[in-house]
Amino acid sequence: MPVLVEIVTRPSAQDHTDLTKVYADAPDWLLAPYASADALIARGIGETRLIAGRFNDRLLGAALLSRDEDCWRLSHLCVRKVTRKRGVARRILDEAQRMAREAGKPLHLAAPRGHLESQALAARTGLPLDNL
């Protein structure tokens, strides 16, 4: 069964639990400028910017997708520690690229300045990296 990617608009109680687990192991720099994972999740859902990967009815990874006038930006990409290295982040990234392309916008990655993980992801994907 493939990972299905969706914009989270009406999360169930289980979805909230899953999203909390997704960001539980995130480094502090990944959560910035939000005070906590809960704040990031609430804001993302409230602004319909939270995109997530679902497998077997469970959310395994998530990110924020900002749809700006000049381009779309994917930030705060994180996958549950126990399910990393299985293509969940790649599926989220691919779907964000597809959605941006259909809207006629380029996709950029966004992260705080100077983080090597974000720079490496940008290099691997060939996407521009913007600073938050």
**What does the block give as tokens for 76?**
């705060």
Is the pLDDT assigned to residue 1 strictly greater than 80?
no
pTM score: 0.93
**What does the block give as tokens for 33?**
């400028």
48-90 pLDDT, tens digit per residue, is: 999 999 999 999 999 999 999 999 999 999 999 988 889 999 9
Considering its fold, how many domains does the chain have in total? 1
**What does the block give as tokens for 102?**
């259909």
Separation in Å, CA 106 to CA 6, 58, 69, 73, 129: 19, 29, 10, 9, 12
CATH number of the domain encompassing residue 57: 3.40.630.30
Q: Which residues are 110's β-sheet partners?
A: 130
Can you tell me the mean pLDDT for 98-124?
91
Q: Which residue has the tokens 């608009």?
A: 9
Q: Which domain holds residue 44?
A: 4-131
16-56 pLDDT, tens digit per residue, is: 999 999 999 888 889 989 999 999 999 999 999 999 999 99
Is the pLDDT assigned to residue 128 strictly greater than 80?
yes
